[in-house]
Structure 1
Amino acid sequence: MHEGGFLMKAYDFAPAIERSFGDMCEFASRLIALPSVTGQEGLVAETIISEMKRLQYDDVFTDKAGNVVGVIKGTGGGEHILYNCHMDQVDPGNLEAWEHPPFSGKTADGWIHGRGASDTKGAIATQVYSAACVKEAGAAHRGDIIVTAVVEEEPGDMWGMRKLADEVLAVYPGRIGLTVLGEATGLNVYLGHRGKVEIDIRTIGQVAHSSAPWRGTNAVYKMCPVIEALEKLGDRLPEHPFLRRSSVAVTNITCSPGWLSTVPDRCTIRIDRRFLPHENRETIMKELGDILKGAGLSVGADAAAEIQAYAHTGYTGLQESMELYKPAFLTPEDEPHVVIVVDALKKVGQNPAFNCWDFGTDGAWIATELGIPTIGYSPCEEEYAHTPRDRVSMDLMRKAALGYAAISVAVTE
């Protein structure tokens, strides 16, 4: 990391970026045109690998989970910088709601349209090309520029990133000084987000014929005071001056056996709990235990609360179940690498504001488990993610490519 010295060189990236701009946008369009719901990212991975090799990356490989890693080597002795995006995208949903077909990758009115454009295929293309432009421009940098694209981010348990961390990052020679996520920021610098955990609460009753409900115990009725208490809990959860407020939401409810003329003996709700850095699984589970007791329920006999897991089957065939728990993280504004990033962006004519994501990212694992300072900077914009208006601005891609190049040299000098 170096606090100066690249000012006169920063604008040397612009010609290389301009020469490759059309190819970069075409690459983004090709990625968007490849459907890649979670667990089916193989074609996207192959396309990224092929493009990195064509752009003369010094090293390109995948790990066992199918995460893609491309490296532009430095001269040695400097901190490395890690760029990261994810290859999977959510389902397009109702096709009639789309102005442009979700897998067309259509370019229109200065935008590239389609599912995953803003989350995060537009950023993948920009990061891949920006690193190549640093090499083409002959910019001196001691540390490596590591560009990664991971699998299976959308479930929210960071499985792909955890595999990358275990197999690649934890053993990568030298020090990774900074992670830059391509999750949507609209050219601003994002410093973190709340944590997330998905929990099922289950109430237990006794089955009976619904013509004589008094012979059983209705598990749905047992759940009613729990739901009311969760709604009230949401009104008193803590706030953070930067990350905003903790939250709780009931996102699903089911009962069983679900037969006609039958009083249900099981009722299950799924809750999405967003939390701040001072909260954790222990405090959250105690909070829910208190709610169950307050509803007159005996934990174990009448009710239970359990963090849920997601069963992964990756495109490489790797299978594993992972708990749906993601910690909160917040990188300070005055962290030295953040100061360097903002200075680098200002030197190429950008004036980023600080913000945080409402949603979660894979960066939580890198920041909390590997202790690497982690930020977001991206041409993608939050308002389009997971919507039928999914798109990425070509103008912001051009600016982000220059921003990434400036950041890369500033951190790795």
Structure 2
Amino acid sequence: MDDRLRVKAEELQPQIVDFTQRLIQTRSISGEEGAIARLIQDEMRKLGYDEVLTDPAGNVIGILRGRGQGETIMFNCHMDHVSEGNLADWEYEPYGGTVAGGWVHGRGASDVKGAIASQVYGVYLLKALGIELQGDVILTFVIDEEPGDMWGMKHLCQDWLNRPVSLVVLGEATSLDIYLGHRGRLEMELIGRGKMSHSSAPWLGVNAVTKMAPVITKLDELSRSLPEDDVLGKSTLSVTHISCQPGWGSTVPDICRVWVDRRYLPSESTEEVVNQFKQAVAECQAADPDINVECRIRQLAHTSYTGISETEQLLKQPYLVPQDNPYVQKVVKALQDIGQNPSFGVWDFGTDGSYTAHVLGIPTIGYAPGEEEYAHRPTDRVRIDFLIKAAVGNAAICRAVAGCYPKEV
């Protein structure tokens, strides 16, 4: 077993931990990633990456060039994170980057700032050791992942990625295991329309909220009959939001909006899933002609920190990379060769890997130091030993996919 990567990573542990802390200390809510984008660029320039740049949307790209005789591998993390929520729930200050008990604590530590540090320094290990690669290594750090519609990744791939990529490695939490995909996710918006009246005379109106109730009940019935997959788990349907207009206490509402989170399997098409909602509404309307509900995939407006504004559907396709995929097997062997013994897994949540895997057809896996159980929680944290192991693992994955020069290195 070649031990050079581990020894060098342990030597660089103070820098890796310090970078993780600075990432956590840099608040980067979706749409506000400018400061962390500059921080990541500065770190990669300091470490001597061959090229560091941003695309028009504000995604950050770093390149370690090979000799042009091998395959290209792309690493990816998102720069944004969810809100810290109620400060009283936190043991450690969410933007403190506190080191305690062998962990770095704070918002985004597991999702995915620890992974950013392990990717930036993992690829740097090769440069620090003078290990030249045959192919290129691209690091990409995207905006606006948390809202759930892959807007940042779409811009990166459409506006900048103009070369073939053999493998994408996501930094979403995997506990150093290899994750191979996830269920799809779409968010449906149901818009019910009624007739407004004074609430003292409800018979003069049509209450959009009460007319929506049978539809919600029908969807609840549907949720109990959804299919299940041995690897990806069960399809799910969850009502996540209900609102009405005008929302005055003395007025029968004429508009009711419902948002529904639908997780689905590769065996279910997006069209099939959308039609399930339409069918549920049609059955309710057949029983009550006053029910008037429109179904559509919800759209979300974005404005990047660079000023680009667009609207995108809240939709991620499911994907699952086979365990026997040649690149997956290369990664397994590379990690085993450095003494790691990863298992295979899948995410409960969705990722930007849906774009690279489903839209672009690139094998896309996850390998990262974060642990899924801490994502989005006030206990957000990442293990320091996992940061170092992930850096070593990322370097080993680079060697396996991009290839070393000379080949016997």
Q: So what's the TM-score if we normalise by structure 1?
A: 0.95
- Pair 1:282-2:274 in alignment: no
Residue 368 of structure 2 is aligned with which of 378, 397, 406? 378
Q: Read off the aligned partner of 2:38 and give its amino acid letter.
A: E
Aligned to 2:315: 325
Does the C-alpha gap of structure 1 residues 313 and 264 become closer, same or farther in structure 2, counting only changes over 3 Å? same
Q: Describe the superposition over 1:208-227 as per-residue Cα deviations: whole angstroms up to 9, x where unpaired.
A: 22222222211112111111
Q: Read off the aligned partner of 2:247 and give its amino acid letter.
A: G
Q: Read off the aligned partner of 2:383 and give its amino acid letter.
A: S
Tell me if structure 2 keeps the 8 A contact 1:210–1:261: yes
How far is the alpha carbon of 1:19 from its aligned partner? Answer: 1.9
CA distance in 2 between counterparts of 1:215 and 1:311 reads 36
Aligned to 1:410: 400
How far is the alpha carbon of 1:85 from its aligned partner? Answer: 0.3
Q: Tell me, what secondary structure is at the counterpart of 2:312?
A: strand
Aligned to 1:5: none
- Pair 1:201-2:163 in alignment: no
Q: Describe the superposition over 1:32-53 as per-residue Cα deviations: whole angstroms up to 9, x where unpaired.
A: 0011000111110101101001
How far is the alpha carbon of 1:299 from its aligned partner? Answer: 9.8
Does the C-alpha gap of structure 1 residues 37 and 299 become closer, same or farther in structure 2, counting only changes over 3 Å? farther
- The aligned runs of 1:9-408 (5 Å cut-off) are 10-169=2-161, 171-172=162-163, 175-296=164-285, 302-408=292-398
How far is the alpha carbon of 1:153 from its aligned partner? Answer: 0.4
Q: Tell me, what secondary structure is at the counterpart of 2:166?
A: strand
How far is the alpha carbon of 1:268 from its aligned partner? Answer: 1.4
Tell me if structure 2 keeps the 8 A contact 1:198–1:325: yes
How far is the alpha carbon of 1:148 from its aligned partner? Answer: 1.1
CA distance in 1 between counterparts of 2:291 and 2:386 reads 56
Q: Read off the aligned partner of 1:113 and give its amino acid letter.
A: H
Q: Tell me, what secondary structure is at the counterpart of 1:398?
A: helix
CA distance in 1 between counterparts of 2:130 and 2:14 reads 21
Q: Read off the aligned partner of 2:327 and give its amino acid letter.
A: H
Q: Read off the aligned partner of 1:289 and give its amino acid letter.
A: K
How far is the alpha carbon of 1:167 from its aligned partner? Answer: 1.8
Tell me if structure 1 keeps the 8 A contact 2:187–2:297: yes
How far is the alpha carbon of 1:281 from its aligned partner? Answer: 2.8
Tell me if structure 2 keeps the 8 A contact 1:289–1:299: no
How far is the alpha carbon of 1:165 from its aligned partner? Answer: 0.4
CA distance in 1 between counterparts of 2:189 and 2:106 reads 33
Q: Tell me, what secondary structure is at the counterpart of 1:236?
A: coil
CA distance in 2 between counterparts of 1:15 and 1:352 reads 20
Q: Runs of 4 or more off by more than 3 Å in structure 1? A: 297-301
How far is the alpha carbon of 1:302 from its aligned partner? Answer: 1.1
Q: Gapped runs of 5+ residues in structure 1?
A: 1-7
CA distance in 2 between counterparts of 1:266 and 1:46 reads 44
CA distance in 2 between counterparts of 1:53 and 1:281 reads 42
Tell me if structure 2 keeps the 8 A contact 1:293–1:299: no
- Count of equivalent residues: 402
Tell me if structure 2 keeps the 8 A contact 1:112–1:394: yes
Q: Describe the superposition over 1:275-302 as per-residue Cα deviations: whole angstroms up to 9, x where unpaired.
A: 1113233111211111011112589981
CA distance in 2 between counterparts of 1:254 and 1:341 reads 47
How far is the alpha carbon of 1:303 from its aligned partner? Answer: 1.1
Q: Read off the aligned partner of 1:194 and give its amino acid letter.
A: R
Aligned to 1:4: none
User: RMSD over aligned Cα, in angstroms?
Assistant: 1.4
Q: Tell me, what secondary structure is at the counterpart of 2:179?
A: strand
Q: Describe the superposition over 1:172-209 as per-residue Cα deviations: whole angstroms up to 9, x where unpaired.
A: 3xx31100000000001000001111111122211122
CA distance in 2 between counterparts of 1:300 and 1:247 reads 29
Q: Tell me, what secondary structure is at the counterpart of 1:176?
A: coil
Tell me if structure 1 keeps the 8 A contact 2:16–2:118: yes
CA distance in 1 between counterparts of 2:194 and 2:299 reads 25
CA distance in 2 between counterparts of 1:361 and 1:295 reads 34
Tell me if structure 1 keeps the 8 A contact 2:285–2:292: no
